[in-house]
A and B are shown apart, each in its own frame.
Chain A
């Protein structure tokens, strides 16, 4: 949490002025009991009406000054807090953008989203409160003590005993309950995950008629949460009664001491009233503090969660980007790759060359490393062994920007973004002209349905592309990859949502492209890759065979099996 405070930079003035004005306000508030004491001793004591009225005008003046100070403080606090959180969000967003696939896999998108939204909001209210109150409250408490000393040293000693006692109670309870609140949060997470799981798996759960069991599991976790909440509630419910007892105990002590001092002629009646008033001010302040502690506790917890995101460093270093590549294609030599949590290599000893214009088919069983292989080319993941050359230059020597601009990629999962079709297509090339977009759509077999849309390229796309069918989404993502005229095109099982006819037409159109890119096609269908120049057959991360369709049918047993499983009758 502490490290996050650097984002207050640029708001130093506000950060200092807000508590300062708050303290000024508190000082004026502390004068009030003294003035009242003067009213009692001088005004009432001497029966001086005009003195009473004058002193009351002083009270009003103190109120006005307090109001002005307080508003100034609120303004600076609000400015610092909102500015701080805006900066924090910005940096966090930028930081998340810089994380590589490896880190994203480890953290998960949904966590990142809550950290950026609700956690940052909590921190903002925390900062705002701290600036306004956490200096003011101790200040009032200690200020009241100092004022008591100016009245009478002996009576003030009661304050000296009371205040540490109160601090112990307040901070002790806070320290004790903080981990408990974390546990409550954990229990809440539990019932949240049960509910989410129940909704996501509703078909399966109902197919296996698990409704009653699910209900029982929910009830149990919900009860556990309730018990925990009640326990924490009982503990933190102690705060008010205990502080009440201490403060009022101190008041009785004050009256007793006051009685002795007045009798001895050291104190006046009005001064005793002032002392009692100071004690009451402490109580009022403590009640406020107790109510706000939860907010601050939450803010600190959220701050730590956000900080933990900042601590994730990207494992990808940008290359120097000095060497210009020649047009020499893609080359893998002895490439190996191990995932973060993987014990063994997901890919090992992959060696092959793709010349400009080549089509490379990659086929293999589930989990054989097909996607991993193509993800290494744009450096979504880093190869742990061996070398990958694009246009004759090691991928690590490119800046990510330069490297990825060369590559058009169509991921397995077709993701579109809110906006128009044109907006989405221009991701590949910001200044693409409309004809370029139409060309890309034509190759991707998406022209027809886009033309049919009333607004054509300007038809809107809902978040994630929900308003398009799976096949349409996939074709749009293919078009998006084509718009930038990439040197390398990666289709990662991209035709899986397309029917066979469309898939075939797509491959044909790709073959006819004027500046035909190097195309990598990852697929499980032999029909999608059988016409590739080179087919790479993967099994358990190893190359099980490489060559043309005919060659592989001759000499690769794995390929034969795959092929026959799909074509067995016709072959015979």
Chain B
């Protein structure tokens, strides 16, 4: 289990490296500069020490020597600062560009994913991968670049410098430092399950908040506030307790390692001072040693922090890569034909389909639609009506059988030309954030104002659009903002009306428009549908009465087929459904 997770982490790391490789120039520059920075930083205490050795006592100061060293120091300081800044800039650039690349790729990949993926993953989850995970990854990567290299190089560099000055004292430092690592690791292990408990409780609370705040109107309608608050308080109390533990115990790392550091410092002090008394070390060297002891232990604390951060970053990157590597929709064949001048002959033959392999939905569905026919699909909720549309638009591919348009199998034509042949209005209205006009011209970006207005008039949308503050240039938000459900629906219809597609798909398109407006739209649609094959899904029988063929669906099967009169005479399921409209 651990091994598997470990190898997955390694695989992710390799993929991250692939992205980093593009910026190898920045990376190598950054590493070189890190080395320069560290070397210069380490050189300063040495110089300080040398300077102090020139300052021995009253009238025993070698001013020439001190000045010489101070000049050297000035140069080194300037160099370090410059190297630091350029390195920071490099790291920044690298990190943000890598994350940008991954994000772009993830988004581009989403455009190629089959609808199945979107339907089975909550959009919030995908969004959080592209946004939050990528952001976390950036943070971790940046911290890794800036602190990890510096940390490692500092440790090695300090050891080198210390060895060059005095091997004995270096040994003392080497012996004490592992203690700090052991302490840090011990605390991390102990706090891990506290953090887990904290994040679980947090998740529980978030779920409750989402539910209660999301459904607040219902909460208030039922005066459920007190109960909701009680439940919230209970979880909140638990969260308080476990986050106190997690926060407190994890914050022990810092004081503990600092304590160990002070032991190192003292160790260096004692051995150094004794060595100085013995004449094996100068005071300046001791001062240099003391500041090394400080510098040497610091990266250990930082690195342990960076490693957690990096692990987190790699976990986030893993989630992103998961998305990027998700299998895309079936690519179009090389020689995919382009549907042109569509007549509207649709053949559905022996189609099988299911969303979930264990649950058959469509079985052996057969249907032959002649050009210009109006096909109505009716039946109880969940009977598979919208599935037919998913298949016609090739949002999903059939599992068996075939669908063809004008004799061409839809899997052999380009998706673009197939979808262009249909004008689709869905039950769930969706508008893009932008102006009303931008939304209407979605299918025909080069439409003139006159065309837009004509389409809007035909759909009875013109009058309400004109009444909006900015008319066609009114900016709406993604969920349509202050537009009513019916108005949104009208915009979606106008959008299709503008394109004059050869075939139409209307999925309960009029369910939230009152019947009077609907009647007006029906007239417009009747105009539009003339000579065009259309598929209409609706609950309202009045809207489909004039269909050339009605498919009555139940549990994934077409159980009846025929026009209104024929079906009424058959006195079957459709007749029941229809009669119930007049039931008392």
Interface pair A258/B55, CB less than 8 Å apart: yes
Known contacts A366-B512, A501-B580; A263 and B92 CB within 8 A of each other:
no
CB distance from B565 to the nearest CB of A (A): 11
CB distance from B210 to the nearest CB of A (A): 6
Main secondary structure, interface of B, reads helix
CB distance from A43 to the nearest CB of B (A): 5
* B206, B420, B426, B516 pick with most chain A CB within 10 angstroms: B516
Q: How far is the CA of A503 from the CA of B69 in the complex (A)?
A: 94
Known contacts A75-B248, A215-B107, A527-B581; A67 and B542 CB within 8 A of each other:
no
Q: How far is the CA of A66 from the CA of B273 in the complex (A)?
A: 23
Interface pair B381/A497, CB less than 8 Å apart: yes
* A32, A70, A262, A407 pick with most chain B CB within 10 angstroms: A262
User: Which B residue's beta carbon lies closest to that of A233?
Assistant: B92
Interface pair B207/A255, CB less than 8 Å apart: no
Whether A548 sits at the interface, judged by CB under 8 Å, is: no
Whether A56 sits at the interface, judged by CB under 8 Å, is: yes
0/1 string, A482-494, CB within 8 A of B gives 1: 0010000000000
Chain A residues contacting B239 (CB-CB under 8 Å) are 86
Chain A residues contacting B18 (CB-CB under 8 Å) are none
Stretch of B56-64, B365-373, B529-537 that contacts chain A: B56-64
Q: How far is the CA of A510 from the CA of B169 in the complex (A)?
A: 91
Whether B73 sits at the interface, judged by CB under 8 Å, is: yes
User: Which B residue's beta carbon lies closest to that of A258?
Assistant: B55
Whether B270 sits at the interface, judged by CB under 8 Å, is: yes
Whether B475 sits at the interface, judged by CB under 8 Å, is: no
A235-255, CB < 8 A from B:
237-238, 240-242, 244-245, 248-249, 251-252, 255
Whether A230 sits at the interface, judged by CB under 8 Å, is: yes
Chain B residues contacting A269 (CB-CB under 8 Å) are 52, 55-57, 283
Interface pair B240/A86, CB less than 8 Å apart: yes
CB distance from B297 to the nearest CB of A (A): 11
Interface pair B214/A109, CB less than 8 Å apart: yes
Interface pair B63/A74, CB less than 8 Å apart: no
User: Range of interface residues on chain B?
Assistant: 35 or more
Stretch of B93-101, B308-316, B339-347 that contacts chain A: B93-101
Interface pair A96/B277, CB less than 8 Å apart: no
* A193, A207, A256 pick with most chain B CB within 10 angstroms: A207
Interface pair A499/B380, CB less than 8 Å apart: yes
Interface pair B211/A411, CB less than 8 Å apart: no
CB distance from B385 to the nearest CB of A (A): 12
Stretch of B4-12, B79-87, B400-408 that contacts chain A: B79-87
Chain A residues contacting B290 (CB-CB under 8 Å) are 36, 277
Known contacts A96-B216, A567-B542; A366 and B486 CB within 8 A of each other:
yes
Interface pair A197/B432, CB less than 8 Å apart: yes
Name the contact of A74 in the complex, choosing from B60, B78, B251, B263 (C-beta under 8 A).
B251
Give 12 pairs: A residue, B residue, CB < 8 Å, sorted on A.
A44-B286, A78-B251, A96-B213, A191-B103, A195-B126, A200-B478, A207-B424, A240-B84, A245-B81, A273-B52, A418-B211, A566-B515
Interface pair A417/B211, CB less than 8 Å apart: yes
The 4 closest A-B pairs by CB, nearest first: A366-B486, A237-B88, A233-B92, A265-B58
0/1 string, B506-533, CB within 8 A of A gives 1: 0000011111111100000000000000
Chain A residues contacting B202 (CB-CB under 8 Å) are 117, 121
Stretch of B157-165, B218-226, B348-356 that contacts chain A: B218-226
Q: How far is the CA of A407 from the CA of B206 in the complex (A)?
A: 30
Interface pair B216/A504, CB less than 8 Å apart: no
CB distance from B219 to the nearest CB of A (A): 7
Whether A509 sits at the interface, judged by CB under 8 Å, is: no
Known contacts A366-B517, A501-B580, A566-B542; A188 and B131 CB within 8 A of each other:
yes
Interface pair A93/B419, CB less than 8 Å apart: no
Whether A561 sits at the interface, judged by CB under 8 Å, is: yes
Q: How far is the CA of A260 from the CA of B67 in the complex (A)?
A: 12
Whether B336 sits at the interface, judged by CB under 8 Å, is: no
User: Which A residue's beta carbon lies closest to that of B262?
Assistant: A63
Chain A residues contacting B89 (CB-CB under 8 Å) are 233-234, 237
Whether A168 sits at the interface, judged by CB under 8 Å, is: no
0/1 string, A519-538, CB within 8 A of B gives 1: 00000111100010000000
Stretch of A47-55, A142-150, A351-359 that contacts chain B: A47-55
Chain B residues contacting A252 (CB-CB under 8 Å) are 70, 73-74, 77
Interface pair B487/A273, CB less than 8 Å apart: no
Whether B335 sits at the interface, judged by CB under 8 Å, is: no
Q: How far is the CA of A101 from the CA of B233 in the complex (A)?
A: 23
Whether A304 sits at the interface, judged by CB under 8 Å, is: no
* B82, B217, B244, B442 pick with most chain A CB within 10 angstroms: B217
CB distance from B492 to the nearest CB of A (A): 8
Chain B residues contacting A262 (CB-CB under 8 Å) are 55-58, 60-61
Interface pair B244/A82, CB less than 8 Å apart: yes
Whether B443 sits at the interface, judged by CB under 8 Å, is: yes
Q: How far is the CA of A64 from the CA of B243 in the complex (A)?
A: 27
Chain A residues contacting B213 (CB-CB under 8 Å) are 96, 109, 112-113, 116
Interface pair B81/A501, CB less than 8 Å apart: no
Chain A residues contacting B255 (CB-CB under 8 Å) are 66-67, 70-71, 74
Interface pair B107/A195, CB less than 8 Å apart: yes
Whether A336 sits at the interface, judged by CB under 8 Å, is: no
CB distance from A529 to the nearest CB of B (A): 12
Chain A residues contacting B99 (CB-CB under 8 Å) are 226
Interface pair B73/A248, CB less than 8 Å apart: yes
